[in-house]
Structures are given as structure tokens and as C-alpha cells.
């Protein structure tokens, strides 16, 4: 196999499809097949896929605080399953929160909400 075809194969094999049509390619990173194999073995041992699916489906992931971990719902419901807790539709809750953020940001952009000087915001720094 020529050096060029090796590089082409590595580039093709190093694609990870993300949401929205984006693709992450890690071919330029110093990652060998041995490293990938070890990471896969560790992932299997830790049951990471199963734990991630449990997180996405709304299972209790933080038993110490007895709280659900649902911030991923701000990006949408990946599995499409209904997630309820104490009778509340959590997907609807997060959609409502996103709607509030959208409304607030539109008011800031339009100048309906202004700073303490009465002027429109020129810059916004969001922390957290």
C-alpha cells in the first residue's frame, strides 16, 4: 500500500458524524490503532454506550443528589422517547426554557432591553 493510499484510508476511517451534517475528523491527531483499541476496551469495560443511552433516556444518573441529568435536552431529544419525572414532561420544560432564552435574546438585540445607561448592548458575555 502506498503512503498516499494509507493517508487517504486513515482520513476516511477517522470521520465521526456529528449532528447537523457536521463531521469531526481526527486523522491529524497522534492516535494509533493500539490507542483506539485500548480506548475501545476501556469503553466496553465501563459500559459507556449503555450509560450514555441511559442518560439520554432520562434515567437517574446522579444518585448522590437524587437528580436527573437532562441538560442534553437543550439540544433536542436524541432518542425521541418521552422523558417524564414527577409527572412533568422534561422535554417540554427544556423547550420552554429555550423559548424564554430566545425571547430574551431577541429583546436584547432589538433594544427593547437595554443596559443600565439606557443604551443598547454592544457586547454580551455569557458565562456558565
Is residue 83 within 8 A of residue 89, CB to CB? The reply is: yes
Average pLDDT over residues 90-114: 93
pLDDT digits (tens, 9 = 90+) for 32-43: 889 999 999 999
Least confident of 5-9, 31-35, 43-47, 97-101: 5-9
pTM score? 0.59
Model confidence at 76: pLDDT above 80: no
- The 10s digit of each residue's pLDDT in 19-62 is 788 999 989 898 888 999 999 999 999 999 999 998 888 888 88
- Candidates 85, 91, 118, 121; CA nearest to 104 is 121
Share of the chain above pLDDT 70, in %: 95
- Cβ neighbourhood burial of 73 (10 Å; 0-12, 13-18, 19+): buried
Residue 58 CB neighbours (<10 A)? 21
Q: In the chain, which ranges are E strands?
A: 15-17, 23-25, 60-62, 67-68, 84-85, 88-89
Amino acid at each position: 500500500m502506498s503512503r498516499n493510499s494509507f493517508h487517504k484510508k486513515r482520513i476516511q476511517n477517522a470521520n465521526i458524524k456529528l449532528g447537523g451534517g457536521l463531521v469531526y475528523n481526527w486523522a491529524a491527531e497522534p492516535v494509533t490503532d493500539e490507542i483506539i483499541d485500548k480506548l475501545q476496551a476501556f469503553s466496553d469495560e465501563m459500559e459507556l454506550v449503555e450509560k450514555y443511552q441511559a442518560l439520554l433516556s432520562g434515567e437517574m444518573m446522579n444518585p448522590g443528589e437524587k437528580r436527573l441529568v437532562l441538560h442534553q435536552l437543550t439540544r433536542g431529544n436524541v432518542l425521541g422517547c418521552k422523558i417524564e419525572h414527577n409527572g412533568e414532561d422534561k422535554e417540554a420544560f427544556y423547550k420552554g426554557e429555550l423559548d424564554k432564552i430566545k425571547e430574551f435574546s431577541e429583546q436584547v438585540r432589538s433594544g427593547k432591553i437595554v443596559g443600565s445607561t439606557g443604551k443598547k448592548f454592544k457586547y454580551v458575555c455569557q458565562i456558565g
